[in-house]
């Protein structure tokens, strides 16, 4: 059981890491970064639900509950208000010929979503780290003893 739980938690961390890295690369595209941040949020909400059932570490379970509540409230707030307000732009001069317009509300919403996502990532990282440390202790306490065939 401990080995499969370690694999599950490690897969969860790797998946989240890939999505965080994908977000950084998707910033150059028009709207792909929104799709990646929504995928990260969906992954983390699913992960939180699964961990609420499977996890036995009390501190992380409480943090996951808090994360789930905050993420759900934020998701509802984002859905309700993000695109119902007049968009204001921040204009940034890259050089004499290039001007970039950044939608302020979108930048704020995405930044908050990333902070919430990174908080959940740290919860998962600490729990996985603790699980792997406990696994090493268990292996040290029960060394491998080869079976010797009996002589009948």
Inform me whether the pLDDT recorded for 34 exceeds 90. no
Inform me whether the pLDDT recorded for 66 exceeds 80. yes
Q: How far apart are CA 32 and CA 25, in angstroms?
A: 9
Distance set, CA 152 to CA 73, 104, 149 (Å): 69, 81, 9
Inform me whether the pLDDT recorded for 81 exceeds 90. no
**pLDDT band with cut points at 50, 70 and 90 for residue 140:** very low
Inform me whether the pLDDT recorded for 90 exceeds 90. no
**pLDDT band with cut points at 50, 70 and 90 for residue 109:** confident
């Amino acid at each position: 059981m401990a080995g499969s739980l370690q694999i599950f938690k490690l897969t969860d961390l790797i998946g989240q890491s890939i999505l965080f890295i994908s977000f950084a690369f998707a910033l150059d595209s028009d709207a792909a970064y929104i799709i990646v941040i929504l995928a990260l949020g969906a992954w983390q909400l699913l992960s939180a639900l699964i961990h609420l059932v499977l996890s036995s570490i009390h501190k992380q379970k409480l943090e996951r509950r808090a994360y789930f509540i905050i993420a759900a409230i934020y998701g509802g707030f984002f859905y309700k208000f993000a695109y119902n307000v007049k968009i204001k732009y921040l204009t940034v001069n890259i050089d004499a010929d290039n001007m970039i317009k950044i939608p302020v509300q979108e930048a704020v919403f995405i930044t908050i979503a990333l902070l919430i996502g990174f908080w959940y990532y740290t919860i998962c990282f600490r729990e996985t780290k603790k699980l792997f440390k406990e696994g090493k202790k268990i292996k040290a306490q029960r060394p491998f003893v080869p079976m010797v065939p009996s002589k009948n």
